[in-house]
Amino acid sequence: MHAITIPEPGGPEALVWDEVPDPVPGEGEVLVEVAASAVNRADILQRQGFYNPPPGASPYPGLECSGRIAALGSGVSGWSVGDEVCALLAGGGYAGKVAVPAGQLLPVPDGVDLKQAAALPEVVCTVWSNVFMVAHLRPGETLLVHGGSSGIGTMAIQLAKAVGAKVAVTAGTKEKLEYCAELGADVLINYREQDFVAEIERATDGAGADVILDNMGAKYLDRNVRALAVNGRLAIIGMQGGVKGELNIATLLNKRAAVSATSLRARPLSEKAAIVAAVREHVWPLLAAGQVRPVVDRELPMPEAPEAHRVLEASDHIGKVLLVTP
């Protein structure tokens, strides 16, 4: 098969489409013939040499994919060769085939194109696990999503609205904010021109955001805590704004607030399987009913992975960028 390899860390040009051995599914795994994979910022970090796959995972980038089951490893039940699936991966999505633990498989939802289903696993599992399983967003509460037009952001808006929450978003252009509004966002904040703390205070009559989903990390830490409501919950899922920030414990105590930080890739298989099972139970019916949908900016042939990384790094996209196998 062919896969995107990284002979040496570097810029987008470090991604090389090359012939590699086919993976073999182990016990409890299935082999998926990949139709498409989606590009995530974690892939960029891996390309740069900063985010290696966990032990035993595929060395190729790609944290999610869609495709058809080509073979079953021993001990696998409930799936058949030929089933159309999408999958949460620890790596290996940028390839013709990938071996996946059966607990990280999901059927392609009714009404969703096979290729576009590649845009779902990582974002849905990230949003559901952080916003709902950890931060426990409830109907009537306010969610603030940083990067509202990203893959994570566009899914967070839709899921929060589906459960009856109010949604505020930050984004850097008028066009991106308008798209967020089309998805249901109630409060639109241009982070280049507006102070999101002040805008959240204004939009909530001084109460603050009950839950904040943050991809920036250190840069926004202090302001995020100030923007929280009493009993608010800050869920950090990224560090685009740095890794070391100052936290005002007094403000956190006064608000009786909580700060959590999670990632998916390095979690034990049992935890990933539990998240995937929750997503299948709670989110898949919303997708089948058309209440929630994947947002795909563009599809590129997988050998053009360097260009896909350039698009993501330029941040001029909305939703997900897909890589489609030749």
The reply to whether 6 falls in a domain is yes
Give a yes or no: residue 128 inside a domain.
Answer: no
Structural domain includes residue 62: yes
Q: Are 20 and 60 within one domain?
A: yes
We report the CATH number of the domain holding residue 164 as: 3.40.50.720
Say whether pLDDT at 175 is over 90.
yes
**Joined tokens for residue 5:** 């390899």
Burial label, 193 (beta-carbon count in 10 A; 0-12, 13-18, 19+):
exposed
Cα 237 vs. chain centroid, distance in angstroms? 9
Confidence of residue 169 (pLDDT cuts 50, 70, 90): very high
Q: Give the mean pLDDT of 279-301.
A: 98
pLDDT attached to residue 163: 97
Q: Are residues 256 and 271 in the same domain?
A: no
43-101, pLDDT tens digit by residue? 999 999 999 999 999 999 999 999 999 999 999 999 999 999 999 999 999 999 999 99
Note the pLDDT of residue 226: 97
* CA–CA dist 6, 45 (Å, integer): 12
75 and 88 part of one domain: yes
Number of structural domains in the chain: 2
Predicted local confidence at residue 252, as pLDDT: 93
Give the CATH number for residue 93. Answer: 3.90.180.10
139 and 213 inside one domain: yes
The pLDDT value recorded for residue 245 is 87
**SS3 of 233, please?**
strand
- On the 0-12 / 13-18 / 19+ scale of CB atoms within 10 A, 186 is middle
130 in any annotated domain: no
* Domain-terminating residue out of 261, 290, 311: 261
Least confident range of 190-194, 247-251, 294-298, 317-321 = 247-251
Is 116 found in the same domain as 154? no
CB 177 within 8 A of CB 148: yes
* Cβ atoms of residues 126 and 40 within 8 Å: no
pLDDT bin (cut points 50, 70, 90) of residue 243 is confident
Q: Which of 231, 261, 291 is the last residue of a domain?
A: 261
Q: Is residue 77 part of a domain?
A: yes
Task: Give yes or no for residue 154 having a pLDDT over 90.
Answer: yes
Average pLDDT estimate for 133-154? 98
Residues 11 and 113 in one domain: yes
pLDDT greater than 90 at residue 18: yes
Measured torsion, CA atoms of residues 262, 156, 94, 62, in degrees rounded to the nearest 10: 0
**What's the rounded mean pLDDT across residues 5-18?**
98
At residue 268, does pLDDT exceed 90?
Answer: yes
Residues 145 and 257 in one domain: yes
Domain boundary among 261, 278, 305: 261
- What mean pLDDT is predicted for residues 298-316? 97
CA distance 319 to 297: 6
Residue found by looking up tokens 């974690």 in the block: 42
Q: How far apart are CA 194 and CA 286, in angstroms?
A: 33
| Statement to judge: residues 85 and 117 lie in one domain | yes
Pair (177, 221) in one structural domain: yes
Residue 129 is assigned to a structural domain of this protein: no
- Domain extent, residue 117, equals 2-123+265-324
Please check whether residues 168 and 270 belong to one and the same domain. no
pLDDT above 90 covers what percent of the chain? 95
DSSP-H helix ranges across the chain: 41-47, 121-127, 151-162, 174-183, 196-203, 221-227, 249-255, 269-282, 284-288, 305-314
Instruction: Give the β-pairing of 29-38 and 97-101.
Output: antiparallel
| Judgement on whether residues 201 and 282 belong to the same structural domain of the protein | no
Cα dihedral 140/275/6/214 (nearest 10): 20
Same domain, 18 and 78: yes
Please give the structure tokens belonging to residue 59.
């060395």
